[in-house]
Amino acid sequence: MSDDAAKSLTRDVFATKPATATNPVDPYLRMDRMPSIWCGGCGIGTTVNCFTRALTECGLDLDKVAIVSGIGCTGRVAGYLNLDSFHTTHGRPIPFATGLKLANPELKVVVYSGDGDLFAIGGNHFIHAARRNIDLVVICVNNHTYGMTGGQVTPTTPEPAIASTTPYGAFEFPFNLPYLADSCGAVYVARWTTYHVRQIARSMKEALSKRGFSFIEVISPCPTLYARRNKLGDGLDAMKYYQEKSVIKHGAATSEVGIGFQGEIVCGKFIDRERETWIEAYDRRHEVALGAKFTPYPTGLVDAKKE
């Protein structure tokens, strides 16, 4: 197709859109950065749509919501959301977010990244932020692969999935992410697939309303790499798989929710508990030790109550 032909086709597509039509998601996005880099059938955009709905419903002042991403396909989320947004280094969005939150506790800080970023190169940061109970919402879009670099194996790839670096099939034991988050002390742990759009949005809303380290895993298709190499079809086939093989078990023991290749996906809210956040613990300890000599560090709690 010639360039001119391609341009006229593009114009036609937009011309068919009624002049008055606006997508309710638009105000949350940097429309001057559209279209996104994501492939057709990719689930990341679906999760972003859910996230904007959660933002609408939770009633937070959006000027006080910051989003931090690492590197990778999901790492691009920060760049598309019309919030204070930070696209950091590979694996490091959580410690960046830790510094951001502690420096400005009135912010609601959301980390949005992929399974490779958060659990391979960034795994150490995840477990410590959960243990410390830093007041963050961590959203992991888990597509079992490194999409940006061409479909390599990740810490969540189940055996025997084919990846570019496991041409004969993955063979390492994969992480069960909710179990990991639970065991490190996360106060909120949920998992959904991109088939469960309402549930994702509800969980995101709940996590945004929690104080402490909240974790949401969203199982998401990568039709271009993971699904193609494994002959799993397109985005629609992924939806059918999620519909057929997902089982909702709220409160399920996280040790029991590991995912095998094209196997059952246990979804639901597994953990919802209260625990002192890092700043609360910092203030408590220093008040005990120093008494009047200590000026408490702001927790952001007062602002949250006002909202």
Partner 1 sequence: MKADPRGVLTGAHYMDGDHACCEGAIAAGCRFVAGYPITPSTEVVERIAQRFPRVGDGVFIQMEDEIASSIAIQGAVWGGKKAMTVTSGPGFSLMMEHIGLAAIVEAPCVFVDVQRGGPSTGLPTLPGQADMMQARWGSHGDYEIIAVCPNSPQESFDLTFLAFNLAEKYRVPVMVMLDECVGHMHERVVIPPAEQLDVVERKWTDQKPGQYKPYEVTDKSMVPAMCKAGDGYRIHITGLTHDERGYPVMNWQAQEKLIHRIVNKIRLNADEITRFEETDVEDKQGNVADVVVVAYGITSRVAMRGIELARAKGVKVGLHRPTVIWPFPEKRIRQLAQKAKAIVVVEMNYGQMYYEVERLAAGKCQTRLLGHGGGTVHDPQTICDAIVEVSR
State the nearest-atom distance from the C-beta of 85 to partner 1, in Å. 5
* Of 8, 124, 243, 262, the one binding partner 1 by CB under 8 A: 124
CB 283 → partner 1: shortest distance, Å? 9
Q: In 70-213, which ranges are E strands?
A: 84-87, 108-114, 136-142, 145-146, 152-153, 188-193
Rank residues 128 and 229 by Cβ distance to partner 1 and give the closer one. 128
Q: For the chain, what is the total number of helices (H) and then of strands (E)?
A: 12, 10
Residue 289: is it exposed, middle or buried by C-beta count within 10 angstroms (0-12/13-18/19+)? exposed
Considering the complex, state which of residue 75 and residue 221 has its C-beta at the smaller distance from partner 1.
75
Q: How far is the CB of 282 from partner 1 (least distance, A)?
A: 7
Q: Tell me how far apart the alpha carbons of residues 56 and 27 are, in angstroms, rounded to a whole number.
A: 11
Q: Does 208 bind partner 1 (CB under 8 A)?
A: no
Total binding residues for partner 1 by CB under 8 A? 42
The interface with partner 1 within residues 261-300 (CB under 8 A) comprises: 278-279, 282, 286, 290, 293-295, 297
| Residues linked to residue 112 through DSSP beta bridges, in sequence order | 139
Residues 6 or more apart from 307 whose CB is under 8 A from it? Answer: 59, 60, 61
CB 197 within 8 A of CB 218: no
Q: Kindly tell me which residue out of 33, 198, 240, 284 binds partner 1, with binding defined by CB under 8 A.
A: 33
Q: Provide φ and ψ at 42, rounded to 5°.
A: -65, 145
Answer yes or no whether residue 30 interacts with partner 1 by CB under 8 A. Answer: yes
The DSSP secondary-structure symbol of 167 reads T
Answer yes or no whether residue 128 interacts with partner 1 by CB under 8 A.
yes
> Looking at beta carbons only, is 100 or 200 nearer to partner 1?
100
CA distances from 250 to 123, 193, 267 (A): 25, 14, 7
Cβ-based nearer residue to partner 1, 104 or 164: 104
Residue 86 C-beta: closest distance to partner 1, Å: 5
Residue found by looking up tokens 């009624």 in the block:
18
- Give the C-alpha separation, 99 to 287, whole Å: 22
How many CB atoms lie under 10 A from the CB of residue 222?
28
Cα–Cα distance for residue pair 229/20, rounded to 1 Å: 41
Among positions 62-121, residues that touch partner 1 (CB under 8 A) are 63-64, 66, 68, 78-79, 82-89, 92, 95-104, 106-107
CB of 103 to partner 1, least distance (A): 3
**What residues make contact with partner 1 under the rule CB under 8 A?**
30, 32-33, 63-64, 66, 68, 78-79, 82-89, 92, 95-104, 106-107, 124-125, 128, 278-279, 282, 286, 290, 293-295, 297
